[in-house]
Amino acid sequence: MNKMLIISVIFLGFGFEGFANDTLQFPIANGVIKYSKVDSMLYVHPNGIKIFTTTDYKILSCSQGKVAGIAKLKEESYVIAIESDKSYYYVYGSIDSVVVKKNQVVRIGQVLGLLNKKEGNEEFITFSVMRKGKILEAERFVRRKKI
């Protein structure tokens, strides 16, 4: 079982009640969701999507809510889960440093963490949307240019 899924499930309950009606703030200001050139498929993380950036390394909250949990993974990266007032959980992974604390209330667009810029590399975060223990299609929740 994937580490991000295990961490995500720890934060949540079980069940499913459909998709959100609102489009969310995009988690990286200049990020994009990519499709593979070989098979036109999304670059999909097992539990969500990968959002790539080469210019902006601030990870932004896509929703108002409360920091439900922060976990450090063996790869020296972090996962942050935000619980919205509508009982959705937005899970951000592959974060290098965290600037929020557990139980902190966050607003839309607030910086949650940072990616460390690595010379010549394109960086990404993983982004998942969950409700009552079920992983939802994250791409349906964010609207942004896709390449």
How many other β-carbons are positioned within 10 Å of the β-carbon of residue 49? Answer: 23
pTM: 0.71
| Residue 146 lies inside a defined structural domain of this protein | no
| Residue 53 lies inside a defined structural domain of this protein | yes
Residues 140 and 124: their CA atoms lie apart, in Å, by: 19
Per-residue pLDDT of 94-146, as tens digits, reads: 899 999 999 999 999 999 999 877 666 678 888 889 998 888 888 777 765 44
Tokens of 8: 């995500």
| Residue 99 lies inside a defined structural domain of this protein | yes
Domain that holds residue 89: 3-140
Q: Write the CATH number for 109.
A: 2.70.70.10
How many other β-carbons are positioned within 10 Å of the β-carbon of residue 78? Answer: 20
Quote the number of domains for the chain.
1
Residues 57 and 24: their CA atoms lie apart, in Å, by: 19
